[in-house]
Amino acid sequence: MTYKNEQNTNILYKGNKIDPNRVSDPEVMPLYLSTAHNVADLDDLQNTYDRKGYAYTRSHNANRDGIAELMTYLEQSENSVITNTGMSAISTTLLALLTSGDHVVADKTLYGESIDFLKTLSKYGILVDFVDITNLDEVALVINANTRILYTETVSNPMMTVANIKAIADLAHSHQSYLIVDNTFMTPVLFHALTDGADVVINSLTKFANGHGDVTLGSISAKAEIIEKIYNLQVLLGTTGDPFDSWLAMLISQ
């Protein structure tokens, strides 16, 4: 669309682009709300997808990539994805990494809706045992040959249970399982779960990480190969984070 002033000359926009002669390097990251980006033809579209460029917002968005890079830096991980809520970070991760017949060991004082989601996994043939995660003997007792994931919060909501991440990570790895940690209450400012041996760290950015009470957003940080697996399902589930929320959350770094 071209906007004209009273003299019928173009103002500000040419087509749908800002006049390049009037743009300099913005100090704060611009907000990219456009659902789709123009491509020349089908080859151009394929190339855009291949280089993880911006063609369609559910797949890639510059603001979402910005906050993902920030979370990767803060969590000292290889890569991250941003989800539309903390709960979708949890559900997307578990659905991507588990398969029917698998077993999960989770702390019994987790955030209530995390417990409720874990319970729904029985519909897909995934069984979950809830334990006192601070009691390593109890954790070890329920681990079996099908255990794939140990799941805890660093400091649980609302009981404030403090998990020994290093010890639980050792236990998980000695049984060929992943340790997934929800770091929402600590944030990467206070605790680095990956450095202590966790395989995946999840944050509800809705809470302290965003800090100004105006977004729902989640993050998942891990090694690149784990994030690729999660991203591939995330795009199908449609749990990618909203550009405006991503932009608002970026304000913590700008």
Ligand X SMILES: Cc1ncc(COP(=O)(O)O)c(C=O)c1O
Closer CB to ligand X, residue 143 or residue 230?
230
- The span from the CA of 175 to the CA of 140, in Å, is 10
Q: Stretches 64-72, 165-173, 181-189, 228-236: which one binds ligand X (CB under 6 A)?
A: 181-189
- Asked if residue 151 binds ligand X (CB under 6 A), the reply is no
Q: Stretches 9-17, 37-45, 82-90, 138-146: which one binds ligand X (CB under 6 A)?
A: 82-90
DSSP state at residue 241: P
Q: What are phi and psi of 198, to 5 degrees?
A: -65, 150
Contact with ligand X (CB under 6 A): which of 66, 72, 102, 111? 111
Q: Stretches 122-130, 169-177, 180-188, 230-238: which one binds ligand X (CB under 6 A)?
A: 180-188
Amino acid letter for position 109:
T
Burial 210-240 (b: 16+ CB within 10 A, else e): beeeebbbbbbbbeeebbeebbeebbeeebb
Closer CB to ligand X, residue 57 or residue 156?
156
- Asked if residue 216 binds ligand X (CB under 6 A), the reply is yes
Q: Are 163 and 153 in contact (CB under 8 A)?
A: yes
Structural element, H or E, at residue 136: helix 136-142
Of all residues in the shown chain, the one whose CB is closest to ligand X is 86
Size of site (CB under 6 A) for ligand X: 14
What is the contact surface with ligand X in residues (CB under 6 A)?
85-87, 111, 114, 153, 157, 182, 184-185, 204, 206, 216, 218
